[in-house]
Amino acid sequence: MSTGWIVIGVLVVLVLFAFAAYNRLIALSQRVGQAFADIDVQLKQRHDLIPNLLETVKGYAAHERGTLDDVVKARNAAMSAQGPGQVAAAEGQLSGALGRLIALSEAYPDLKANANFQQLANELSDLENKIAASRRFFNNAVQEYNTGIQQMPAALFAGIFGFTRKDFFDLGADRSTVEQVPTVKF
């Protein structure tokens, strides 16, 4: 009789532990989702700022069509990207194109002195800093989640519950381009 109670006690402890592990993994997964949503909000603000910046530059640098077209193409690709991997790659391309666009101001003193351009460039610089902070928060959340599903004894239940590794917001080959926040000089 006492052996039966011991077995039942062990099973109850295992079930309670499975519930605790599941709830912890759910919380970590939700944190990753929330962190990616934060990045998405910042990126949307960036995408919304770009048309205004382009219109301002067009008036001063109309013959720089290639640079303007590159920014438009990169913005469209970034807006349609899905998931951390695709978004990171598309945003890397967009950051490079924006850097070239901002560099145009050096060649056009009137553009550089334009108050609207200055304001938009400052907003862009501020957004780039916010995106970098959001990206760090997201990668921290992914690291905690990935660690959580790999640590024993939760690792025994993670696969059963359908928890799989999540990807970091990795900049890959475009890392050096993105790490250089566009410099705004007036």
Q: How far apart are CA 94 and CA 49, in angstroms?
A: 13
Show the tokens assigned to 62: 């109309």
Q: Residue 127 pLDDT more than 50? A: yes
Q: What is the tens place of the pLDDT at every residue in 142-177?
A: 999 999 999 888 888 888 888 999 988 876 554 454
Mean pLDDT, to the nearest integer, of 30-56?
91
Q: What is the pLDDT of residue 145?
A: 94
More confident site: 142 or 111: 142
Q: What is the tens place of the pLDDT at every residue in 69-91?
A: 888 899 999 999 888 888 888 88
Q: What is the pLDDT of residue 18?
A: 84
Q: How far apart are CA 154 and CA 137, in angstroms?
A: 23
Q: Residue 184 pLDDT more than 80? A: no
| CATH architecture under which domain 27-179 falls | Up-down Bundle (1.20)
Give the pLDDT band (50/70/90) at residue 186. very low
Q: What is the pLDDT of residue 175?
A: 47
Q: Residue 35 pLDDT more than 70? A: yes
